[in-house]
Structure 1
Amino acid sequence: MQSRPTGHTTHQPIRFTDVNVDVTQSGPTGMTTRRILSNISTVLTEHRVGIIGANGSGKSSLVRLINGLNLPSSGTVTVGDWDVSRHAKNVRQRVGFIFSDADNQILMPTVVEDVAFSLRRHKLPREQRRQRALDQLDALGISHLADNSPHTLSGGEKQLLALASVLILKPDIVIADEPTTLLDLQNRRRVARALTELPQQVIVVTHDLDLVRDFDRVLWIDDSRIVGDSNAQGSGGPRGVIKRYEEAYGGV
C-alpha cells in the first residue's frame, strides 16, 4: 500500500464559479427543464474531500462536472488552468473516475488484462503494459488475483480493480462515486483504506459518513445547492457538517 500523506496537503484548485446545471426531461405534458445544481461557487484544494447528501440532491452531478461527464448550463468549472467545458480531453487525463458499480468498468477477461487495457493508447510493448499492471495491482495488495476473471472477485476486490485501472494512468485527482455502497464491512474497510492512503487528491461522494468523517473537507449538498461546508466559519469542521446532516436526515 502507498503511505498516507502527512500534514494538510493542498492541490491545484478545482474551481466552480456560478455553476448551474439544467436537465431536460420528457413528461406527460411534454418537455420540461429541471435544475439539478444551483449557484455553485466553491474552490476545492484539500487532499481529501467528502461530498454528502440525500439521494437526488445533486452530489454525483457535482463531481461529474470535474472531468466533463456533465457540463454546466451556465458558469465555469476549471481544474488547474483548464476550463473543463473547453478542454475536457486534457482534464480527463488528470482526473480518474470510479463508479459505484465496478462491474461497469470491467472490460477484459482477466484482472491484469483489465488494468493493462487502460494503457491501450500508450505506445508500450505488451509485456511492459502487463508489468505495469502487475505493479499497480501489487501496490493495492491484489496482485495474487492477476490471472483471475474479474467477475469472480468480491465487491471490494472489484472496487480495488477499478481503482487500479484508474491509478495506472497516474491521475492528479481521483473521484469515487459511492465506492462502498454495495460492500460488506470487511470490503468497505479495504476500499476506504486504499482511498485514504492515496497521494492524489481524493474526492468521494458517499452515504458512508464514517468514511469521510476525518477528511480534510466535507460538503453537504441538498436540493441542488451547497448547504453545508466544513470550511465555513462556525461549521465545526467536517464532523460538525456531518452532525448537522445526521440531525436533518437521521443518519441516512
Structure 2
Amino acid sequence: MMRDMGHGTTDPPTGAITLHRASYGVQGRPILQDITLSLTERRIGILGRNGSGKTTLLRLMAGLVAPTAGTVTVEGMDPAADRRGMLRALGILFQNPDHQIIFPTVIEELSFGLRQQGHSAAAAAAAAQAVLAAHGRAHWAPAPVASLSQGQRQLVCLLAVLAMRPRTILLDEPFSGLDLPMQIRLTRLLDGLPQRLMTITHDPRVVAGHDRVIWLDEGRLRADGPAAEVAAAYQAEMERLGALDADADIPG
C-alpha cells in the first residue's frame, strides 16, 4: 500500500535521514512544502518531473541548503551545520560530473575528500590509488580529468565518493547524458554497493526493484510506498499529461 502523507511523531531509527515538516523557498517562492519522511531503507527512489523539487530535496539532505521551515537530520546530525560529520555519513553524485570535479588529475580528485576527512596527503593518495585499483582503473591515476569521456568523469566522481566510505550516497539523475553501455556498467557497480542509495530521477524504470519510492509533485509528497505501486501510479499520470496539449499555448 502507498503510505498516507500524514506527519509521524515517532523517534527516527538509528541511521535514518529524517525530515519533519521541512520546507524550502526562495524569495517567498515555495520549492518544497511540508515534507515529513523517515528514510531507512537500503534502496530509495525519489521520483518526479523536472521542477518538482527533487534536487532541492537532495540539497536539503546533503546540507547544501538549510530548510526555511521544519527540520532535517542525518543520523541525528544537522547536515547544514555539521559539515565534518557529513563527510562520513553521506556522499553525493551529481547529474553533471563537470559540476563536481575541481582538480586537474584523477588522483587529485579522489584524494581531495580524503584530505577533508583528515588524512595526510600520502595516506589520501594511497587510499585513492587503492580505490582505483579495486575498480580496475589504477592506470587512470595520473590522467587529466579533461581527457576522459563524460561517462568516465562520472565514474571518477563516484569513485571519489566511494573513497570516503559514506554510509549513504545520494544520486542525482546519475544516468543523464550517459550512453547505454556506460549506464549498464554504472548500474552494475551501484547494485553491488553496500551503502544506502537514494536515487533521484524522472524515469520510473530507474527505480524498479527499489525498496521504497517517493513521488514528489510541485514540491509536495504525492505518494510514498513500494516501488512497483508508486512507479505505476506515476507512469499513469505522466501518460495522462502526455496526452494533453498543455504546451500548445504561447505565453502572453
TM-score (norm 1): 0.83
1:117 to 99, 103, 112: 112
State the SS of the aligned residue for 1:244: helix
Distance 1:123 1:71, change over 3 A: closer
Candidates 8, 11, 16, aligned match of 1:13: 16
Using a 3 Å threshold, how does the CA distance of structure 1 residues 187 and 72 change in structure 2: closer, same or farther?
same
* Structure 1 runs of 4+ with >6 Å offset: none
Q: Does 1:222 align with 2:217?
A: yes
Equivalent residue for 2:153, pick from 154, 158, 161? 158
Check whether the contact 2:65–2:80 (CA below 8 A) recurs between aligned residues. no
Q: Tell me the CA shift for residue 123 of structure 1.
A: 5.3
- Please report how far the alpha carbon of residue 118 of structure 1 lies from its aligned counterpart in structure 2 after TM superposition: 2.1
- Amino acid paired to 1:191: L
- 2:26 corresponds to: 23
C-alpha change, 1:135 and 1:250, in structure 2 (3 Å) is farther
- Count of aligned positions: 229
Q: For residue 89 of structure 1, report the CA deviation from its aligned partner.
A: 4.0
Using the size of structure 2 for normalisation, the TM-score is 0.83
Give distance in 2, aligned partners of 1:189 and 1:208: 15
CA positional deviation for 1:245: 0.9
Query: Aligned partner of 2:238: which letter?
Result: Y
Percent identity of equivalent pairs:
36
Alignment-mate amino acid for residue 18 of structure 1: R
Indicate if the aligned counterparts of 1:67 and 1:92 stay in contact, CA closer than 8 A: no
2:248 is the alignment partner of 1:245: no
> What secondary structure, in the 3-state scheme, does the structure 1 residue paired with 2:65 have?
coil
Contact 2:75 2:89 in 1 (8 A): no
Q: Assess, with a 3 A threshold, how the Cα gap between structure 1 residues 133 and 102 changes in structure 2: closer, same or farther.
A: same
Query: 2 CA distance for matches of 1:198 and 1:112?
Result: 22
Task: Write the distance in 2 (CA, Å) between the matches of 1:177 and 1:35.
Answer: 21
Q: Which sits farther off after the overlay, 159-168 or 201-210?
A: 201-210
CA RMSD of aligned residues (A): 2.1
Question: CA 1:97 to 1:155, structure 2 compared with 1: closer, same or farther past 3 Å?
Answer: same
Give unmatched runs, 5+ long, in structure 1.
1-9, 25-32, 231-236
The residue type equivalent to 1:210 in the other structure is R
Determine the structure 1 residue equivalent to 2:93. Answer: 98
CA gap 1:131/1:86 in 2 versus in 1, 3 angstroms: closer
Q: The residue matched to 2:72 in structure 1 has which SS?
A: strand
Q: What pairs up with 1:140-219 in 2 under 5 angstroms?
A: 140-219=135-214
